[in-house]
Amino acid sequence: MEQVYITTPLYYVNAEPHLGHTYTTVVADTLKRYFQSIDYEAFLLTGTDEHGDKIAQAAAANGSSPKEYADRISDLFRSTWDECGIAYDYFIRTTDTYHQEYVQKILQTIDDAGEIYFGEYGGFYCYGCERFYTEKELVDGKCPDHQTTPDYISEKNYFFRMSKYQERLIDEIQNKPNLIRPERYRTEVLAFLREPLEDLCISRPTSRLKWGIPLPFDANYVTYVWFDALLNYVSALNHRRGAALQDLWPKAQHLIAKDILKPHAIYWPTMLMAAGLPLYDHLNVHGYWVMDSGKMSKSLGNVIRPLDMKARFGMDAFRYFLLREMAFGQDAKFSEEALVTRINADLANNLGNLVSRVLAMQQKYFAGVVQSLDSEWAREDLELSAKFAQAETELNGFMAELQFHRALESVWSALDHANRYIVQTAPFTLIKDPTKQARVGAVLHHLLEAVRTLARLLAPFIPDTARELSALLALSDDALKTPWGQGFAAGHTVQAPRVLFPRIESDAKK
Ligand SMILES: [Zn+2]
């Protein structure tokens, strides 16, 4: 059985789960379900990143210890993903003992290999970013992200000889064109690597920061937060899968937003090289959600919380919007108006109407009992089944490229075709002619095959709805996999329709 290992970033516990986190996590969940649907064994990891200045400061401002603070926010992430139905296999916290021990073990390995040295470092330190800036990188003497004046700090620290791995990293990226994808991010990383790569400062003195993992070779220092957080992808597998680590790790597919490209495309692979571990299989990078009202922020009051969206629109409708609206890799606009339009047009009208019309006719004309197909299929029957076969082929191609929106477009194109097939074959007219009953039965049978195919193809994207479709068809998961025309045994009875997606009236729009 082929394997795949899918990861979300470890979410930093300085903020509660919002739209950005939710998108990455929904994509990870969709990929996992998709790989399972094509018979892969899939393992999905998510979790929380809990060390560093920002957490220590937020905890202090909150009057709690860093650990208490991290416990609370970490629980919030976990319970949010549970309530959203995210099928993660393991949830890691960087404060977990096994993780801390693993980080220390890797640091020791890299130090033993002579890849870490002690040196003096001076730079402009932004506490918000938790990183040093060179004078050149500052804008009018201020942090470009925080618009604050950083402190100039000069101190002794430990450094990882990252510069040594520059050529090898360039070779790896050039030899495997989809190691980092989509292409624009690969290009960005290669452009960055045209400049000399510096060594990476990997420690913080405990005089300044205590909330971190102590260096195994110097108790006066803790590990730089990225050197700690990135290792989670391996430490979690080592902890959970033991011997399976060797097989599964090289199948890793990381999912990240573009703001953390550099740590994942540069620090992480060079760390892996120094630790003697293989690189990940793919680094998959997506863009930002842009709000109508500008950048999402607490102060603007436009933070999108996943559980609010679930309560108001349903999780599947929200998932569908996220996957359909954003071209993976590019930025996309988020607005409630666009969300409501998608729900009404694609889900309520197109999908919902098709399913309810087919089941209503099946109920009305044949009391729900599936009739036999014609011995010879009509041209439009063949076209309908061919259209769904084509959608599945296209979907597989697009999923391999993480083009979720195009995969869904292909399915919806088949859905449109099914709605046209109803108009073409007009079972509601034929039924009035007593000699055409068998044809009506056959037409509805083909339409039920269309619904059955939808239940299978849509399961990774909108899993609750797919389950509902199977329940309406009274079919088990295994029965979804048989070829077109073989899904329903003689005498099989399907359910009466239920509303899958209620239309959202315009007064619910803002
Ligand atoms: Zn900053």
Output the six-digit token pair for 484: 């077109």
Mean pLDDT of 73-87: 98
129 CA to middle of ligand 1, Å? 4
Which residues are CB-neighbours of 113 under 8 A, at least 6 positions away?
Answer: 274
What is the per-residue pLDDT for 508? 46
Residue 119: count of CB within 10 angstroms of its CB: 10
What is the residue whose two structure tokens read 């096994």? 98
SS percent in the chain: helix, strand, coil, step 5: 55, 15, 30
Instruction: Tell me how far CA of residue 91 lies from CA of 225, 235, 254, 319, 390, in angstroms.
Output: 19, 12, 15, 21, 37
293: closest CA among 282, 302, 306? 302
**CB distance 332 to 290 below 8 Å:** yes
What are the structure tokens assigned to 151, written together? 């402190």
* Distance between CA atoms of residues 347 and 189, nearest Å: 39
Instruction: Label the pairing between strands 3-7 and 90-93.
Output: unpaired
Give phi and psi for 390, each to the nearest 5: -65, -45
Helix segments in 326-400, DSSP class H: 336-342, 353-366, 379-400
The CA distance from 429 to 279, in Å, is: 62
- C-alpha of residue 230 to centroid of ligand 1, in Å: 20
Cα(322) to centroid of ligand 1, in Å?
Answer: 29
Count of positions (residues) in the chain:
510
Phi, psi of 15, deg, nearest 5 = -145, 155
For tokens 């060079």, the residue is 270
Residue written as token pair 């007593």: 434
Mean pLDDT across 279-288: 98
Tell how far the Cα of 192 is from the centroid of ligand 1, in angstroms.
Answer: 20
Ligand 1 center to residue 53 CA distance, Å?
12
Cβ–Cβ under 8 Å, residues 277 and 249: yes
Q: Is the N-terminal amide bond of 182 cis, ω within 30° of 0?
A: yes
- Residue 13: its pLDDT value, please? 94
The residues carrying an active-site annotation are 18, 21, 126, 129, 143, 146, 295, 298
Which residues lie below 8 Å from residue 78, measured CB to CB, with a gap of 6+?
48, 91
> Cα of 119 to ligand 1 centre, how many Å?
24
pLDDT digits (tens, 9 = 90+) for 185-234: 999 999 999 999 999 999 999 998 899 999 999 999 999 989 999 999 99
Q: 380 or 132: whose pLDDT is higher?
A: 380
> Does the pLDDT of residue 299 top 90, yes or no?
no
> 50 and 94 in contact (C-beta within 8 Å)?
yes
DSSP assigned state of 267: I
Q: Cα(158)–Cα(65) distance, rounded to whole angstroms?
A: 27
- Per-residue confidence band for 296, with pLDDT thresholds at 50, 70 and 90: low
**Pairing assessment for the beta strands 131-133 and 116-126 based on DSSP bridges:** antiparallel
CA 45 / ligand 1 centre spacing (Å): 29
Record the tokens describing residue 310, joined without a space. 């679930």
Measured in angstroms, how far is the CA atom of residue 208 from the centroid of ligand 1?
17
With b meaning 16 or more CB within 10 Å and e meaning fewer, what string describes 481-509?
A: eeebeebbeeebebeebeebbeebeeeee
Q: Quote the mean pLDDT of the chain.
A: 95
**Is the distance from CB of 408 to CB of 335 less than 8 angstroms?**
no
Give the per-residue pLDDT at 423. Answer: 97
Q: How large is the C-alpha radius of gyration of the chain?
A: 27
Residue 71 identity: D
Unique residue bearing structure tokens 């130090």: 111
For the stretch 324-360, pLDDT in tens is: 999 999 999 999 999 999 999 999 999 999 999 999 9
Sign of CA dihedral 24, 28, 34, 35: positive
Q: How far is the CA of 143 from the centre of ligand 1 (A)?
A: 5
Distance 106 CA to ligand 1 centre (A): 29
- 124 Cα: distance to centroid of ligand 1 (angstroms): 10
pLDDT at 293: 72
Helix (H, G, I), strand (E, B) or coil at 109: helix
Q: Is the pLDDT of residue 319 over 50?
A: yes
Residues within 5 Å of ion ligand 1, judged at the Cβ atom: 126, 128-129, 143, 145-146
pTM: 0.94
Q: How far is the CA of 128 from the centre of ligand 1 (A)?
A: 5
Q: 123 to each of 128, 150, 161, 209, how far by Cα in Å?
A: 15, 9, 18, 17
**For residue 138, is it left (φ>0), alpha (ψ between -120 and 50) or beta?**
beta
User: What integer pLDDT is reported at residue 479 of this predicted model?
Assistant: 92
253: three-class secondary structure by DSSP: strand
Using the mean position of ligand 1's atoms as its centre, give its distance from the Cα of residue 131 in Å: 8
Q: What is the pLDDT, as a whole number, of residue 507?
A: 57
In this prediction, residue 509 carries a pLDDT of 45
> What pLDDT sits at residue 510?
44
150: CA distance to ligand 1 center in Å? Answer: 8
Neighbours of 175 (CB within 10 A): 8
Separation in Å, CA 149 to CA 63, 120, 126, 231, 243: 26, 22, 8, 31, 48
Distance between Cα 226 and ligand 1 center (Å)? 16
* Residue range 25-32: mean pLDDT, rounded: 98
* CA pair distance 35, 49, nearest whole angstrom: 27
**Maximum distance among all alpha carbons in the chain?**
92
Does residue 323 register a pLDDT over 60? Answer: yes
Higher per-residue confidence, 508 vs 72 = 72
Cα–ligand 1 centroid distance for 135 (angstroms): 13
Measured distance CA(232)–CA(213) in Å, rounded:
13
Closest CA to 185 of 235, 279, 258: 258
Question: Cα–Cα distance between 55 and 228 in angstroms, integer?
Answer: 14
